[in-house]
Amino acid sequence: MDYLKVLLEAIEVGRKAAKEQLHRLKRNGARYIIMDDPSLTDEPRVYGTMLDLCGFANIRLSGRSPLVRFIKKNGFRSGYYSYVLYTKYGKVEIYKAYPKGYSLHLPIDEGRQEISVKEAAYQAALEVLKKHGIDGWVYSRLD
């Protein structure tokens, strides 16, 4: 199997999903206000708004996944437990995850911090990986 081709397809589909989710968020408008704590000051200052909460997402893979082996073999070590593979879209990285497996980071989130954009992107990318027999799950957390 051509794992580079699979990765590129996953990135393309993930980027499309991220753009669609970002468009939905922008259409619905800001959901959160960033401001000083009103209990600490008489006149809280408003700094801006957010479309969604900030967060992170990635795809978790088994350490025995053929995709992990491909990235280790064709990329280069960038840390004690991390590997990088450069593609035409940017950096694909895997990191040792706790308690086991690897976290797969793809260049697909539109450079945004909104968690729903990241989750949509990684969920779409995971569907591509699963279509090619690569099992995993999306992991996300708030920042």
Q: Which tens digits make up the pLDDT trace of 78-131?
A: 888 899 999 999 999 999 998 899 999 999 977 888 999 999 999 999 999 999
Q: What's the structural domain count of the chain?
A: 1
pLDDT digits (tens, 9 = 90+) for 24-72: 999 999 999 999 988 888 888 999 999 999 999 999 999 999 999 999 9
- Give the pTM: 0.90
Using alpha carbons, select from 6, 15, 2 the residue that is nearest to residue 124. Answer: 15
Contact between 54 and 143 under an 8 Å Cβ cutoff? The reply is yes
Using alpha carbons, select from 91, 34, 94 the residue that is nearest to residue 64. Answer: 94
Q: Which domain holds residue 25?
A: 3-142
* Helix extents (H) in 29-135: 66-74, 115-131
Q: Cα separation of 89 and 138, whole Å?
A: 21
